[in-house]
Amino acid sequence: MVHFKIIGGEIEPTIEMSTSELVFDLKSKIEDELEVEVHRQNLWYKGIEMEGETRIGFYALLGDEREIFIVTLVVDLLPPDLKLHVLVKFLGRGSEGYVRVRETDTVSDLRGKVSRYWGIPVDSFILRRLNVEMVNDRPLHAYYINEASEIHLSVNIQPR
C-alpha cells in the first residue's frame, strides 16, 4: 500500500492505494473525496503526468523512501461563463439555499451573495468546504467547487 497526498488546492486529502491499482482508480477516489470528475483531473508526480492505465506501482518505484507520495492535482477549468449552483447549508439554523457562482469567483464574492441571501453581515460568518475554512481572496476552484457542491455556513459569535 502507498499513500498519496493530493496537493494543488486548499483541500489536501491523503488517499491510500494498492500498488496493483491503476491511476484511473486513484482518480476515481479523488472524485469521491473532492467531487472533481475524473475527466477534469490531471495528476502529476515528480514532473511526470500520471497516465490512467498505468499501475500505481510504477510511480511508487519512482519514489524515494517516504511513506507519503506527493501528487499535484491540476483541474481543467470549466468555461468562464458557466454558472454553478452551490448548496449553502446554514448550520445551527437548519436552513439551506442554492447560490449561483462561477468557479473563478472568489470566496469573497460568494460571501457577499450569502450575506444578501440570509441578511447577515459579511464579517459575521465562516464558510467551510469539506471541513476546510474558506479564505476570502481564494478562487472557488481552489476548493474544488462543482455543480451542487455543499458549503457550510456557521455564524462567528464574538463574546462581548
pTM score, two decimals? Answer: 0.85
- Domains of the chain (ranges plus CATH)? 2-75 (3.10.20.90), 84-155 (3.10.20.90)
**Structure confidence at residue 36 as a pLDDT band (50, 70, 90):** very high
Question: How many Cα atoms within 13 Å fall on the side-chain side of residue 35?
Answer: 15
Residue 138 backbone dihedrals phi, psi, to 5 degrees: -90, 145
Average pLDDT over residues 7-24: 93
Model pLDDT for residues 93-126, shown as the tens digit of each residue: 788 999 999 999 999 999 999 999 888 899 899 9
**Structure confidence at residue 21 as a pLDDT band (50, 70, 90):** very high
Q: Are 153 and 89 in contact (CB under 8 A)?
A: yes
Average pLDDT over residues 69-91: 92
Q: Are 39 and 61 in contact (CB under 8 A)?
A: no
Q: What is the pLDDT of residue 153?
A: 94
